[in-house]
Structure 1
Amino acid sequence: MASLGDLIPTVNKLQDVMYDAGIDTLDLPILAVIGSQSSGKSSILETLVGKDFLPRGTGIVTRRPLVLQLNNISPESPLTENEVTSSRGDSSADHEEGEMSLQDHLNKAQGIVKDSTKEVREWGEFLHIPDRRFYDFSQIREEIQNETARIAGKNKGISRIPINLKIFSPRVLNLTLVDLPGITKVPIGEQPADIEKQIKNLILEYVAKPNCIILAVSPANVDLVNSESLKLAREVDPMGKRTIGVITKLDLMDSGTNAIEILSGKLYPLKLGFVGVVNRSQQDIQLNKSVDEALDNEEEFFSRHPVYRTIATRCGTRYLAKLLNHILLCHIRDKLPDIKAKLNTLIGQTEQELASYGGEATITPENRAGLVLQLMNKFATRFVSSIEGTSTEISTKELCGGARIYYIYNSIFGRTLQSINPNHNLSKGDIRTAIRNSTGPRPSLFVPELAFDLLVKPQIQLLLDPSQHCIELVYEELMKICHNCGSPELARYPRLQAKLIEVVSELLRDRLGPTRSYVESLIEIHKAYINTNHPNFLSATDAMAEIVKNKKSLSLAREQESDSTSDNEIVDQKAPKHNSFANGASKTEHGELHDSDSDYNSDQSIKNSKDSFLNYFFGKEQGNQANDDGLHLTQGLGEEQDSMPEDAMLNFKGLNISSKGDYFGKENVELTEREELECELIRRLISSYFDIVREMIQDQVPKAAMCLLVNFSKETIQNRLVTKLYKENLFNDLLQEDQSLAQDREKCIKLLETYKAASKIIGDIL
């Protein structure tokens, strides 16, 4: 493990690596200097460096964060020939022949001073000018001013983009500080109206980080309760665990007052304590008093002061530098393992992100074919696994893939079929008309089977639209699965991904037509042959028995209700309004009632006639059906015509008989009791047969969809992709990378290299 003194240079290297990469994901240990304007921040920093290098003036001078790295170097390090040559451009001194040698001129221009028999060299470097050294510290001040104006403008605005400056000197201790803009309350001159908020937000970006040590500078000639720096530090460090208080301008306090209680920590306790310093006055700066002389005067002030001499060893800028160095070293030592762990996490995350972009591998003519085939196989595998439910990326928020197809079959399609009324749009008038049309000119002795066929086929046709809709929903779900089969690796090649989707979409479209045709043929098959011998089909005998039973029960209930009425009311209620089929009574054309030989008043006739539909419906063979319910319109017409009055004959001959006449087509015409029974029988038979067909369609359509569309697509997708896209002349076009994704991948590679370099730097000392 490296020595403790190597920790600060190590962190400086990490900062350089992060700066070069343009990233700030590591919370590196750092010292942040905050304070009000004219609180003495700049004087402290210059005293720590031992040089005048910071811009001075009125208002906001520091308008960008200045990351200052102080690097201690050995004073015995020789100045190499290359360094002398590379720094000649920094000097404009003329050669004074006979008085100074060329080397003397170079040394003077480069800031190399003679100290006894040793040469001491000091210089600064900016990270935005990595190939240049500044030996003249006045040029460092100018560069700070120029760089500030370049980013933040020449007005009084501020910028959060830092300036990184390295100082190399044998007179400094290893430190890394950030000089932040001075806190101000009232905008002055060209300052923005919200300057206070801007500066506060900028300061909080640094001091709010847990690894930041806060150097809160407060002038001694201002009441401590009004210190803006301590107030801001308390917001992010309420316990005072990482705040160092610095009290400046102790020599400017009113006579008879002192800051001993503050410096001893009794008035405002801080874990890291307070340090008192004495800054150079403006007059000292104007008189060019050296920093060394100012430091000597500072030490003399504390050692001779009647109050501060008891704590003189813990006051002054030299003590502050040692304290900051020690605190920063200990802070870095404590935080470095956490930084190492965070780096390992970042490396792992970045490697995963890079893998999602396709990794660092480059495409060569030799591996193009293999790459295309690999991506095809992955696409096909994801398509199949999404249908089968074996995908590793199954959503937990909504149904998708094969589960969605199952939902279509059982919930959407199944419920739709069950909601269809078997007698939809089938009125009693339609049934009556179908029965009459199916008998032709002959009177019907029983309900014709042809009428049943005519009526049930349109009802079966009602199953076609839901079946076709089911197929379309399955097709749409397969299309959705296809579009969701992309992967991060495939996203790297958008043209290949688009082609894969296009080929699979074409495959699904090709299969949609045959599947729809097959489903349509299923409906036609069921309409082609009405199998009334199906074992689940309702027996006409049972249907009629149930109808008659229900009718008798209803008649009995009505008779019981009528017992309480008067005899006249009973007679009126029992008087038939039309020809009766059940009670065996018929009305003549003169309105008289007479008994019919073919009545249905015998229960024994119904019970003993189960063997045939004809015998069941009429009880036994009937020879005389004349005038029964008016069904036989032409029976006896020749005989009755002679007896008709002449006026009636004329009216009859002038009738315009149409299928849409009053008798045939209108629903409001009351049905006879026979017609009521016929309609009810047909309705029940249609419902029974429709349920049989509906059950078969509900089973067959999903099977057809699976066989002809889903399974076929699963089995042929890979072969179709290879046939269409695995061609040498297409590889270059298919493997064109997405430009934005390529940039992200390059950025990710650079980021990974940065993290690995930072990890190596830390690994060298741990």
Structure 2
Amino acid sequence: MKDGAKPKSSAQAKRESTAAAETMDRTVDGIGTMSLESLQSDEQRLVLDTVAQVRKCGLESILALPQIVVCGDQSAGKSSVLEALTEIPFPRNDELCTRFATEIIMRRATVDSLTIRVIPDDTRSGEEKKSIEEFQASITDFSELPEIMDRAMEVMGIGKAGIQPSAFARDILSIEIEGPSRPQLTLVDLPGLIQNETKGVTKADVELVQEITDRYISQSRTICLAVVSATNDYANQGILSKVRKVDPDGERTLGIITKPDRLPAGSGTESAYIALARNEDIFFKLGWHVVKNRSFEEGSDSFLERNASEASYFRTSNFKCLPKESVGIDALRERLSRLLFEHVKQELPQLHSDLSQALEDSKTQLATLGDRRATAENCKEYLTRLSLDFHRVCAAANEGHYEGPSFRYNTNEVFSTHSRASVRRLRAIVQKMNAQFSHILHEYGHSYHIAKSDEPQTEVDLSIPVPSPAPKPVHLSRSQAFSWSVKWPTLAEAHVEEVADVCRQFLTNLLEDMCPKDIISRLWSLHFEEALKQRNNAASDELRRIVYDHKEYPINYNHYYTDTVRQRQKEREQGLLATAVENATSHTPITGCRSGHHTSTKIDIDSALDGFNPGSEPDMEKASCEEALDRLYAIYKVSQKTFIANITTQVVERHIVRGLEDIFSPIFVSKLSDADAQAIASEPASCKRQRDFFQDRIEKLKSGHTILRRVMKTMVL
């Protein structure tokens, strides 16, 4: 479709039809397409033929493939540029602009042909897609093109101007041209950007055109031909801000200036556009190019006449100051030849890498879906294979054997219970949590911190983080230590729950990696939920028994108890001895020394021995309290160590962690009834569609991968 054209008279239409037919004839005879052939050398054809073959595999929706996109504001002359580049006489109508993306696919073939079809947008319903995809038309004469395009518009739901509910469509009109002299090339003409709502164009239409343009130009492998019309101030043409946003360095944007002949010769506007063409204002690394479109009066001219008129203009106008390679449609083809070739050549290695990654991802997705599951036997076979994989990975995680792809996941993440990668390494994360539990119980497991003899009471250090179930111990002097309480059950219960949560998350992540969501939800509700509940209940019962045992009269055969009592007594005796020695020490000044003030130190041994007598405490109650506190501290430390060992071994390890892999094992699957197996693993219709989708995608990617691998072996990129 053309921007900005008026209705044609029957005579004009006839002339245009005749000219179109002549053009088609010249194409068949190998005449009139020499300019198209200039787009590629033999090496360029080899590279671009490769991309064309990959495109033919149907990979446009999977990978961003190299292409040229013609974009710009409404009536900027985009379609005229595309028409001149491809030498396809698009229908002209000044009342219509381009209402959809038009994809021109030129391919080399032994026979000339032109096929038109519509590619439905992904948002279409299945029924709409089927109806649209059924539309296809082939012609041998360009004069048939207007009627075919009208039919295509009706298929898209656009219809005639002023009648359609929506003025634009997300669908793509695909025009595929084949012939022995055609280059392998894809060009796309986008709807012109609209700044404001008008009669027949709604706000939704304006936003839709913006969305279509953004989708195309944001693709990293697209060369943007940003078209601006010299009849409008380029600062007001929105396409420039759009391409600069997605391509800030101008790496893949070529500016195109159209309609330079509409500018008054010698005017300031003409000078501004000449400066723009010189890349002196808005800078693109690919630069700018100027073309002269056919005027309204030249609408029926052939392409040869159009090119001759353009060449004459650039020889005589003020634009003749520009380099020849920056003006005219022929120079633009040669320029695009180099740009597209270098761009594609540069992108081929990354395209190959992206394709390989997409192939691996699709294979993984298909493997996750598994084989078809229509019968109870199919379901049991699927669950058996799934349980074997589950058992293997879960056991490895539990034993700390982190080998294989299951553990190569975001290994640079900070190790924590909030990291999916850390939770995958189950043994390591449980060990870390047990160590933290031990630390917390040592630091916060006691209600009171009892100072040693004569040790002053200190303030609590508020800079140390406190676990939520455990307030920091209250510091007491020994004289204040007359009561006792235990916070261990609360801390232990919190620790067991945290480990259970991590194990639950580990199992969830593992299932997400191995099977579809519908299988996860059914397997979890029918089996995992109850299995984990039983393990948690067993852990809670074990915890209660351990807590009960520790509340009873302590039974101890650990020499650590006597060692601790003796160490506490020793520390107290050392304090007494230091005090006694200090009290028995006297310092006498030495007179007559020339070198300064000196003293003579003397220790009264008898006095020191009298002062140091551990058993000389006259206050029997205080002495008894000292001894009781020493033994209380010692038995507390022994019990603390035992409690930590019991919680981590008898509760966490025995009931929460150990045997986690046996929750879902082949033994469990073998005991399932046919009805239960089907209830868990039966395949919904959506799963079948997904499998068909991935199988089709894999076949396309394999074909593309083969093509790229072959060409990259023979080329020096």
Residue segments in structure 1 that go unaligned for 5+ positions in a row = 78-119, 424-458, 550-606, 611-615, 619-676
Alignment match, 2:22: none
1:408-442, CA deviations, whole angstroms, 9 ceiling, x for partnerless residues?
A: 2x22322344434789xxxxxxxxxxxxxxxxxxx
C-alpha separation between the residues in 1 aligned to 2:402 and 2:225?
63
Alignment match, 1:35: 72
Q: Alpha-carbon deviation of 1:476?
A: 1.6
The count of corresponding residues between Structure 1 and Structure 2 is: 559
Structure 2 SS opposite 1:188: coil
Alignment match, 2:137: 133
C-alpha separation between the residues in 2 aligned to 1:159 and 1:519?
71
C-alpha separation between the residues in 1 aligned to 2:372 and 2:253?
49
Alignment match, 1:307: 316
CA RMSD of aligned residues (A): 5.7
1:437-465, CA deviations, whole angstroms, 9 ceiling, x for partnerless residues?
A: xxxxxxxxxxxxxxxxxxxxxx99956x5
The answer to whether 1:402 aligns with 2:434 is no
Structure 2 SS opposite 1:31: strand
| Shift in CA distance, 401/334, structure 1 to aligned 2, threshold 3 Å | closer
The answer to whether 1:476 aligns with 2:420 is no
Q: 1:146 aligned to 154, 175, 179, which one?
A: 154
Q: Is the 8 A contact 1:389 1:402 kept in 2?
A: no
Q: Alpha-carbon deviation of 1:181?
A: 2.0
| Shift in CA distance, 703/685, structure 1 to aligned 2, threshold 3 Å | same
Alignment match, 1:279: 294
Alignment match, 2:359: 347
| Shift in CA distance, 295/265, structure 1 to aligned 2, threshold 3 Å | farther
The one-letter amino acid of 1:163's match is L
C-alpha separation between the residues in 1 aligned to 2:440 and 2:178?
78
Q: Is the 8 A contact 1:214 1:243 kept in 2?
A: yes
Q: 1:727 aligned to 644, 660, 671, which one?
A: 671
Structure 2 SS opposite 1:401: helix
Q: Alpha-carbon deviation of 1:502?
A: 3.1
| Shift in CA distance, 15/709, structure 1 to aligned 2, threshold 3 Å | same
| Shift in CA distance, 205/485, structure 1 to aligned 2, threshold 3 Å | closer
Q: Alpha-carbon deviation of 1:142?
A: 0.7
Q: 1:295 aligned to 288, 304, 307, which one?
A: 304
Equivalence map 1:484-523=2 (5 Å): 484-486=505-507, 487=510, 488-492=512-516, 493-494=519-520, 495-497=522-524, 499-500=527-528, 502-523=530-551
The one-letter amino acid of 1:482's match is C
Q: Alpha-carbon deviation of 1:137?
A: 1.0
Q: Is the 8 A contact 1:340 1:759 kept in 2?
A: yes
Q: Alpha-carbon deviation of 1:403?
A: 1.7
Structure 1-normalised TM-score?
A: 0.57
C-alpha separation between the residues in 1 aligned to 2:186 and 2:398?
58
The answer to whether 1:757 aligns with 2:699 is no
Q: 1:466 aligned to 487, 496, 509, which one?
A: 487
The one-letter amino acid of 2:176's match is K
1:228-278, CA deviations, whole angstroms, 9 ceiling, x for partnerless residues?
A: 666765666677665555554466555789989978997447756635334
Alignment match, 1:698: 640
| Shift in CA distance, 707/276, structure 1 to aligned 2, threshold 3 Å | closer
The one-letter amino acid of 2:197's match is P
C-alpha separation between the residues in 1 aligned to 2:524 and 2:689?
19
The one-letter amino acid of 2:305's match is D
The answer to whether 1:207 aligns with 2:217 is yes
| Shift in CA distance, 733/517, structure 1 to aligned 2, threshold 3 Å | same
| Shift in CA distance, 758/504, structure 1 to aligned 2, threshold 3 Å | same
Q: Percent identity?
A: 17
Alignment match, 1:419: 447
C-alpha separation between the residues in 2 aligned to 1:326 and 1:419?
80
| Shift in CA distance, 226/521, structure 1 to aligned 2, threshold 3 Å | closer
The one-letter amino acid of 2:671's match is K
The one-letter amino acid of 1:371's match is R
C-alpha separation between the residues in 2 aligned to 1:239 and 1:421?
66
Equivalence map 1:225-240=2 (5 Å): none
C-alpha separation between the residues in 2 aligned to 1:471 and 1:229?
64
Q: Is the 8 A contact 2:217 2:246 kept in 1?
A: yes
Structure 2 SS opposite 1:137: helix
C-alpha separation between the residues in 2 aligned to 1:343 and 1:176?
19
Moved more, 257-266 or 220-229: 257-266
C-alpha separation between the residues in 1 aligned to 2:389 and 2:263?
77
Q: Alpha-carbon deviation of 1:127?
A: 4.1
C-alpha separation between the residues in 1 aligned to 2:208 and 2:531?
56
The answer to whether 1:377 aligns with 2:406 is no
Alignment match, 1:124: 116
Query: Who wins on radius of gyration, i.e. which is larger?
Result: 1
1:168-212, CA deviations, whole angstroms, 9 ceiling, x for partnerless residues?
A: 467865432111222444432243459777655643443354533
Q: Alpha-carbon deviation of 1:33?
A: 1.4
Alignment match, 1:446: none
C-alpha separation between the residues in 2 aligned to 1:720 and 1:338?
43
1:361-383, CA deviations, whole angstroms, 9 ceiling, x for partnerless residues?
A: 97846745742541452465266
| Shift in CA distance, 534/70, structure 1 to aligned 2, threshold 3 Å | closer
C-alpha separation between the residues in 2 aligned to 1:710 and 1:389?
24
Q: Alpha-carbon deviation of 1:479?
A: 1.7
Q: Is the 8 A contact 1:32 1:212 kept in 2?
A: yes
C-alpha separation between the residues in 2 aligned to 1:536 and 1:262?
92
C-alpha separation between the residues in 1 aligned to 2:46 and 2:649?
72
The one-letter amino acid of 1:396's match is V
Q: Alpha-carbon deviation of 1:496?
A: 3.6
Equivalence map 1:10-49=2 (5 Å): 10-18=50-58, 22-23=61-62, 25-26=63-64, 28-49=65-86
Q: Is the 8 A contact 1:40 1:248 kept in 2?
A: yes
1:291-343, CA deviations, whole angstroms, 9 ceiling, x for partnerless residues?
A: 63x53354267459862698999976566556545653454344333322332
Q: Is the 8 A contact 1:247 1:276 kept in 2?
A: yes
C-alpha separation between the residues in 1 aligned to 2:651 and 2:325?
89
Q: Is the 8 A contact 1:40 1:279 kept in 2?
A: no
Structure 1 SS opposite 2:551: helix
C-alpha separation between the residues in 1 aligned to 2:327 and 2:669?
79
C-alpha separation between the residues in 2 aligned to 1:338 and 1:535?
69
The answer to whether 1:63 aligns with 2:77 is no
| Shift in CA distance, 682/216, structure 1 to aligned 2, threshold 3 Å | closer
Structure 2 SS opposite 1:343: helix
| Shift in CA distance, 220/298, structure 1 to aligned 2, threshold 3 Å | farther
Q: Is the 8 A contact 1:503 1:724 kept in 2?
A: no
Structure 2-normalised TM-score?
A: 0.61
Q: Alpha-carbon deviation of 1:405?
A: 1.8
C-alpha separation between the residues in 2 aligned to 1:387 and 1:138?
68
Alignment match, 1:525: 553
C-alpha separation between the residues in 1 aligned to 2:662 and 2:311?
90
The one-letter amino acid of 1:188's match is T
The answer to whether 1:5 aligns with 2:36 is no
Structure 2 SS opposite 1:70: strand
Residue segments in structure 2 that go unaligned for 5+ positions in a row = 1-40, 121-132, 418-428, 452-480, 578-611, 713-717
Q: Is the 8 A contact 2:291 2:310 kept in 1?
A: no
Q: Alpha-carbon deviation of 1:483?
A: 0.3
Moved more, 167-176 or 206-215: 167-176
C-alpha separation between the residues in 1 aligned to 2:310 and 2:334?
19
Alignment match, 1:189: 199
